[in-house]
Structure 1
Amino acid sequence: MTGEQIESFAIRLGEQWKALAPYLEMKDSDIRQIELDSEDMKMRAKQLLVAWQDQEGAHATPENLITALNKAGLSDLAESLTNDTDSSS
């Protein structure tokens, strides 16, 4: 995922970042650190996505993010990401 994709998706993810975090295999300590680092929800969402990207490397694909979103019950966000991915390719 590009920085731009992460940026625009973080805005939509917002407060729901915490529901998604366990499905991106984030540790509780990582989640607490994100909460300590920033008060801003968009910033927290972005930090989560960047941490996930660092952790997963080449596996940090939109497809894997969509799978995690669906598992977290955030299918509306998964759908919006699917539409983005379709329109940009």
Structure 2
Amino acid sequence: MAETRHDLYLRISQDLSDEESRDLRVYIKSKRLLPARGLERMDPQEIFVKLEQKGKLKKGDLSLLVDLMTKINREDFAEEAKQVDDQGRKDLPGDSEHTSGSSDKESPVPPAKRRRVSQRSVDKYFFFIKKRVSTGWKDLADCLGLGWEDVKNISGRNPDDQSRCRDMLEVWQGQEGNAATLEVLMEALSEAGLQKVVDGLKKKYPGISAFGRK
């Protein structure tokens, strides 16, 4: 039976030395792939799962994992990641030499339209969030992966915390594009100690309750 990506995550986590795990966390932090908060307490497996949840590691694309293993001089795992990556691409539904580059044609919604829909679906919650996060916007920014320069610029160009929070959310959305999903935002709110805001969102917008539990 072919090894799955999650099998590989586990083996890497069990095999890396403390020094290699530390180098992995340092690199991830330097590239702002994950929020610094809580990163030191994560083992490699937890880091890879979190990267999946953030949309950084995608099904059928382990190029980031290959890069991470190369950066910490574990070429053996980089090679294994390439093999699992190749297998994952083959297992993707409809994957063939004829489907490459054709998915956008076959989709009933053009790519640009899909991006606009995705962004609008997150945009509509920004007003609710900014009213309730207010002074906690910097913690939320950290959990969303924004850097210090972003925070400093946002703080300097806005007169109050509510407008800073709204600006910060828009900066995050602009940086992440299609990866700026409601699921990621709700998870970041929880990580920032703002679970009450998440609960408020679910109460005001009942349709997202089931989605938020995933």
Deviation at 1:2, TM superposition (A): 4.3
How do residues 38-53 of structure 1 correspond to structure 2 at under 5 angstroms? 38-53=158-173
CA distance in 1, matches of 2:191, 2:208: 24
Name the structure 1 match of 2:11.
Answer: none
1:73 is aligned to 193
Q: What per-residue deviation string (whole Å, max 9, x for no partner) do you get for residues 16-42 of structure 1?
A: 101111111001000000110012111
| 1:19 alignment partner in structure 2 | 139
Letter matched to residue 191 of structure 2: K
| Structure of greater relative contact order (alpha carbons < 8 Å, 6+ residues apart) | 1
Number of aligned residues: 89
SS in 1 for 2:162: helix
Tell me, in whole angstroms, the C-alpha distance in 2 between the residues paired with 1:33 and 1:72. 20
What CA RMSD, in Å, does the superposition of the two structures yield over aligned residues? 1.9
Choose from 172, 176, 184 the match for 1:56: 176
State the partner residue of 1:86.
206
Match of 1:33 in 2: 153
Alpha-carbon distance in 1 for matches of 2:204, 2:133? 14
Q: CA deviation at 1:86?
A: 2.5
Gaps of 5+ in 2: 1-120, 210-214
Identity %: 30
Cα gap change, 1:82 to 1:63, in 2 (>3 Å): farther
Gaps of 5+ in 1: none
Q: In the aligned structure 1, how far is the partner of 2:186 from the partner of 2:208?
A: 16
One-letter identity of the residue aligned with 1:75: Q
CA shift at 1:9, angstroms?
A: 1.7
Letter in 2 for 1:83: K
Rg (Cα) greater in structure = 2
- Between 1:63-72 and 1:1-10, the stretch displaced more is 1-10
Q: 1:66 touches 1:82 (CA, 8 Å); kept in 2?
A: no
Amino acid at match of 2:134: G
